[in-house]
Each structure stands twice: as C-alpha cells, then as structure tokens.
Structure 1
Amino acid sequence: MSGSSLDGQVVVVTGAARGVGAALAGELAARGARLALVGLEPDELKNVAEALGRDAAHWTADVTDRVRMAAVAEEVVAHFGRVDVVVANAGVAMGGPFLDSDPDAFDRVIQVNLLGSIATARAFLPALIASRGYLLQIASLAALTPSPMMAAYCASKSGVEAFAHSLRAEVGYLGVKVGVGYLSWTDTDMVRGADEDEALREMRAKLPGPAGRTYPLGPAVERIAAGIVRRSPHVYAQWWLRGMQPVRGLLPSVIGGALGQREMRRAQPALARRAGVRRGLVGSGGAADETARSSDHHTQSQ
C-alpha cells in the first residue's frame, strides 16, 4: 500500500461501537476501507455501520469468547471474501487502589484487554495469513509506564504489547505484519468515566508535561489510520509517545519509588471519601460490558 488509501481493503475493528473503535472505523472508511465492526452493543454497532454505508457490516460478540470469535471470523470472510487488516481495539478499564477494586471487574479488564486480544488474533490470523495482512494491537501509554491505581489496565496493556511483539516474530515470515498502537489519555467515554473519580482525576492532573493532558479523538485516530496504511510496527496516536520508548526502562523505579509513594499519600483524603466503595469498570463501554455479562448470567441461570 502507498499514500493514504485503503481502497477495497477489508478491515476488522473490535470494540467498534463507540470511542476509538467507532471513530477509527469512520476514518478508515474515508480512506476507502470496507469495515467489519465487532462489539458488544448491537444497537450502537448498527448505528456506526449505517453511518458508514454499504461497505460496512457488524457482528455482536464478546471478544473473550473464543468460539464466538472464530465464528465471526468465518462470517466476515464469507461476507467480504477476505480480511486484510484487523485492529484489536476492544478494551475496558477501571481505576483505584487494588484492594478497593471489585475482583470480578479487575479480572474482567485482564480478560477483555489481554485474553480478548489473543482470541481476536487466534480467530483472524488464518485470514491474515491468506491475505498477507496486518494486525494492529491497540495498547496504551499504560504499556510504557506503570501507574498507581491502574494496576489492571497497566498489566493488561503491557501484556498485549508483549503478545504483539512476540507474534510479530512468529508470523512475519508468512507475510503478516504486526503493529502496536499507543494512545495517551484520549477524549473517550472511558477516559471521561475515569475522570469521574476524584482521586484519579487529581493524580492525573499532576502528571508531568504532556502525560497529564486529555487529547482530542480526531487527530488520534487520523494518526492510527495513517499507521495502518503504512502497516507500521509502532503507531503513536500522540506524537510525544514515541519519545517514551528510550526511557521506559527507567520509569518503574521512578514511579514505584518516591514519586509514586508521594502521590499516593497526597491522594489519601480523596480516597478516604470513597472508602468502602467497590470500584468497577468505568465509562459507558464498561457499563455496557457489565450489562451484557449480567444478561448472559441471567440467561444461563434460567
């Protein structure tokens, strides 16, 4: 591929009902791609697909369900005839002290962000091998630097980064390229949901330099789409994230040492005001995930 075109390319985007996934689907469609949208929210997915026109279709799936994802992959290939690009974007988040977190919600972040990405790759890699295609794994600033009160999210995003790097070596000789996409705090339901927590909001405001800002969604997805066109091994939604790579090895000692401990002490008054409140998934996407799981549990128990 060259230039800015994805003409005729079939691109699968998970987590496409809202946020980065929905906006990225629109940007990719504008570059000529045909879109297979995958997510948990059928009504939202339908709205996104209809806005994109006849070259978009949608499938409802929980990315952690390997059987369902395998079926979706078969259906996408049957519908479009091929798959050229897969963007493993589906994700959920939670924040707050580890011991105050709801254990099920904490585990769910790992399941969706890490195991869901693995299930996505497992389902679609045969099609990508056939097309000599490209898998973009969406990671985060959280993969580059640890952060207190974000243990689940940091663990999951570090995990998917390592998974993608390992997979790149395995499938490169088959003609499949694998990239990792990095985003800082971007204006989505997830980030707005996290900012509703006073302690998290105040701690983020104290992050140095560009790390504490919230960035607009549009330019971020434009940079990601440009990386997909290039089939880049690393895609940075905000320009300064590239500069984090050379210093990332130093950050665990800095953040886990005096700096992180000082900020946790400062956060104690805000944390005390939420003492005893179990922390679950944040944002509208997190609420949709919890609703879908509750519905599944109710159906299975009948």
Structure 2
Amino acid sequence: MDDLSPKPPARWPLLGQAALAGGGLAALSIAGGGLFLQDAAGLLPAVVGVFVTIVTALAVGLWAGAPGGASSEPPVRARWFGAGLTLGAAGVLATFWEIFPILREGVAAAIFALLVLVAAPAYTLGLLLPALLTWAEQREEAAEADSGVWEPLGTLVVGLLGGLAMGVLLAGIFLVPYLGPGPVLLGTAAALLLPTLLPEAPLPETAEQVLYEAESPIGTIRVVEIVYPGQRQPERRLYVNDEEESGELVRSGAPTLPYIAAAEQWLAETATPGDSYLFLGGGAYTLPRRVAERDSGARITVVE
C-alpha cells in the first residue's frame, strides 16, 4: 500500500544537497588527492597525509560551522558559495599544475598544494553540513511531521554517503582518467554553486485569526485560532485581558495548557466511572467538560 501521508518538506531537498556535498568530497579526494600523489616520494606516506588532511579539515569545518549553522537563519547559501569557490580555486591550481609541471617542485609547493587542493575545500564542505542540518530541522519542526528513520540527521548521512560513493565511482573510473583532475574539480565547483541559484523556500509560518472579541464587565474577552503548518491540529485559545485562560486543539478538543493536560491525565488514571467531582473555579470549563466527555455518569459540580 502506498504511503499517502504528508512528507516532511525538507526531506528530499536535504537528501539531494547532502548527495551533492558527498559528490564534491569524492571529487576532491580522487582528483585533488590523486594529483598530489603523482609527485609524492612515497605512496604510503602520501596516502596517509592526504587522508589525514581531508579528515582533519572536514572535522574542523564541522566544528567551526556548528555555531553559525545552529542560528535561526542558517547560512546555507553562503556556505554553498564558499564551497564552490574553494573547489574552483583547487581546480584552477590543478590545471596550472598539469600545464606547468615546474610549479610542483619543492616541499613548499607540495604543502601549498595540499592546503589549497585538499584542506580548504574539505574545510568549507565541513562548514556547510551543520547549516544544512539546521535548515532541514527547522522546516521539519515547522511541518510537525513524524519522519521516523528519515529524520534530518539520518537523511543527511544517507545522502552524504550515497553522493560520496557515486562520486568515487564517477570520478575514479570515468571522469578523472579521461578529463584530468583540473576539469573535474572545476566542473564539481560549478555543480556546488547550483544551490545558490535556486530560490530559497520560506520557512512555513503560523497563522493566527481572531474568532471573537468583546468587552465584558470582567474585561476584554478574545478567542483566537492558531493554524500551524504541516499536520499539527489548529489550536483555539481563550484570553481574558490578554492572559490565556484556556486552550484546546480544534479536532480532538485536548487541552493545550500543560497543567490542565496533566490534571486530565491524572484523573483519567485514578478516577472510576460515576465519580463525583468538585471544581473550585471553572477554568474556562475545559477540565469539567473533558471529564463529562470521558465519563457520562460523572457528577460534576463547579463553584465559581
């Protein structure tokens, strides 16, 4: 049977962007690292050096990107732009290295190439991932969708690993052997800039509508309905002089004030059918009404 339930709005965009980031990391590893290894004196030390550089730069980027990524407006577009620029710079350097082999001579040139070809792009890709995660979490939270195993972190990891695997296959088997490291890095840089050209979907907003408002001897009475994006039920609230007196979900009637919800749960667990209830104060009659709905034989007295 097909699952027709609403999907979290950020699931597929996050999966695609994570796969693109994984593909960029794969192209960086194959093209940039491979070009650096061509001039290495020893294969094993060079492989270890490139691997440690990528992992370290990626980890530092993740650490440095976490505070900004967790902000109310994560800088996803700016970080895609930074990743594309650094990978483009790596592509330019790789192209010059292939055209002018003399630039590759010396320890200083090797260190510079390792930083520009490997470390800088890996760092900016690490910066990007926390912002992507926060972006998706904000939209899923606004949609109030239960995504199960497809929660944002799981989606990010699956997309990243999938893009990494696909990128390794494409870059290692087809692209780098036929096009060379420079063009592959430049093409990947252009691909990383594509998300900056797409329109950014606004974060779903909560709407509030006044259903009733009047002046009474006790003050201003106002009833509002709050409509949330996604699957969450609308909520109605009763205000007296701008203080919330009661709240309930529109479809189920469940109370939304925490102490009312806790009292209802306690009564449901401890009371027996047909019990007598005495309420000192109606509290907008939310709890007495809920008791009456649950137990039609209950004897309810409310003293105002």
TM over 0.5: no
TM category, shorter: under 0.3
Instruction: Give the structure-2-normalised TM-score.
Output: 0.24
Q: Which has the larger radius of gyration?
A: 2
**TM-score for both structures, normalised by structure 1:** 0.25
Higher relative contact order (CA 8 A, sep 6+): 2
